[in-house]
């Protein structure tokens, strides 16, 4: 029997909440707030970026549009929810990165991040209130990419004294450093008070 839509429970519009189920509630409050965006959210903070120095690391970093190495005291993150998923816009001074997060199967705990021609499947996990992400799939031009070409990702998002803390490290498949960015963010209201 099909339940009429008027009586069906409302679908949770939060992307990770729908994918992670109850484990989403085990995340730190700042992580739940940022990933709990239903329409649009804006965060500001600071970030330190380190880049790999090899020629190939520089080429791959340029191709993905990663920001140059340096300290960014006014980094911003804007999350826009639409009918497909979420658009993430990360601002590093005058340098911007735009990706799209897409859902997979409910309960699979896997979110898909699209960089245009390349797409990654990221397995979500929770450890002591920290969100962890691991690469479990990759496609280039919609064609599955062999596993030996997948990057190595170490990604953690946590709550630190009310701040959203992120620590993202990406290496090339043979462990050559590609990019490492570490930073802290606050929601728009709190950020405005602290950053002015």
For the chain, the structural domain boundaries read 15-195
What is d(CA 164, CA 44) in angstroms, rounded to the nearest whole number? 10
Higher per-residue pLDDT: 7 or 75:
75
pLDDT at 190 over 70: no
Structure tokens at 154: 């170490």
Rounded to 5 degrees, φ, ψ at 23 are -65, -20
Structure tokens at 63: 């191709």
pLDDT single digits (tens) 103-119: 998 778 999 999 999 99
Band of the pLDDT at 37, cuts 50, 70, 90? confident
Q: What is the CATH number of domain 15-195?
A: 2.40.128
Name the percent of the chain lying above pLDDT 70.
88
pLDDT at 13: 55
Residue 147 neighbours by CB distance under 10 Å:
11
């Amino acid at each position: 029997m099909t339940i009429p839509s008027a009586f069906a429970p409302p679908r949770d519009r939060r992307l990770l909440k729908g994918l992670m189920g109850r484990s989403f509630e085990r995340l730190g409050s700042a992580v739940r707030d940022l990933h709990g965006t239903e329409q649009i959210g804006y965060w500001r903070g600071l970030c330190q970026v380190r880049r790999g120095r090899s020629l190939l690391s520089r080429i791959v970093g340029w191709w993905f549009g990663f920001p140059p190495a340096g300290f960014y005291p006014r980094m911003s993150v804007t999350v826009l929810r639409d009918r497909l998923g979420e658009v993430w816009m990360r601002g590093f001074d005058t340098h911007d990165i735009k990706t799209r997060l897409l859902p997979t199967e409910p309960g699979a705990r896997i979110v898909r991040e699209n960089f245009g021609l390349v797409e990654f499947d990221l397995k979500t996990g929770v450890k002591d209130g920290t969100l962890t992400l691991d690469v479990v799939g990759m496609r280039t031009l919609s064609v599955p990419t062999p596993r030996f070409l997948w990057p190595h990702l170490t990604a953690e998002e946590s709550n630190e004294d009310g701040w959203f803390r992120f620590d993202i490290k990406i290496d090339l498949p043979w462990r050559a450093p590609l990019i490492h960015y570490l930073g802290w963010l606050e929601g728009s209201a709190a950020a405005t008070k602290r950053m002015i």
